[in-house]
Amino acid sequence: MRPIYTGTIKTTPPEADGRLNAPAAARNLEPILAVLTDYMPQAGHAVEIASGTGQHCAAFAAAFPNVQWQPTDVVPERLASIDAWAEAARARNGASNMAPAIPLNVEQPEWPLAAGSINVVILVNLLHLISDTAAEAVFLGVSRLLAPGGRFFVYGPFLREGKFASESDASFHASLRQQDQDIGYKDADDVANIAARYDLAVLERRNMPANNLMFAFKKLSTHISHMRFSLAVPRGVIIFPY
């Protein structure tokens, strides 16, 4: 398994109860909730990949109380913070629709959730921190998890037609590449094309604050996504223009 990158944005020190707080996650919450509101089902099961501090998942669970939320991450300290956010919500208003966090590395061969059992998956600010191969594994894994008609939301920074949206995006990408040649920004069109290969159709690609984008995908009902051969596609087939 490859190294894990948690992102360059610092979390503030934990609260006494273990909750980490990321200022960036607080800033992008409202615009993300606005997109979710337009496409979320009334009820069902949702999974967040790479939940980070857990503050987003706690806010999603509060905003969509009839949806059961399953947060995940790979870093033990983050898993503990996620659970602390769930516990704080329970103590505040008795909310019980956020399950204990489970470890999930998008690159692990089997994901610890039943195929076809999930209605919503959300992924915020991870694709630029992982390799092209891992990004492909995300779409395979999500496609396997989602029931037909399920939704997949992806938020983050992207290239548009091979170009950076700003100088600061270009230097952020360069700093990621300096850490690891295999990670960095993905092109929005390439991401939509990968999604299509896994039966995920774009419902909307929305411009978000600070040059970010958010995709809302819908899972179509075919069988291709449940086959494992997709991961065996040679790396060179996925060509990102940088």
Ligand X SMILES: C[S@@+](CC[C@H](N)C(=O)[O-])C[C@H]1O[C@@H](n2cnc3c(N)ncnc32)[C@H](O)[C@@H]1O
Closer CB to ligand X, residue 24 or residue 203?
A: 24
Q: Any contact of residue 130 with ligand X (CB under 6 A)?
A: yes
Q: Any contact of residue 141 with ligand X (CB under 6 A)?
A: no
CB of 222 to ligand X, least distance (A): 26
Q: Which of residues 11-30 bind ligand X (CB under 6 A)?
A: 22, 25
Q: Which of residues 48-77 bind ligand X (CB under 6 A)?
A: 50-53, 56, 73-75
Tell me, residue by residue from 145 to 184, as one string, x for binding to ligand X by CB under 6 A and - for no binding.
Answer: ----------------------------------------
CB of 122 to ligand X, least distance (A): 8
Q: How far apart are CA 76 and CA 173, in angstroms?
A: 26
CB of 192 to ligand X, least distance (A): 20
99, 106, 118, 165: which one contacts ligand X (CB under 6 A)? 106
CB of 194 to ligand X, least distance (A): 16
Closer CB to ligand X, residue 201 or residue 231?
A: 231
Site residues (vs ligand X, CB under 6 A): 4-7, 22, 25, 50-53, 56, 73-75, 78, 104-107, 124-126, 129-130, 134
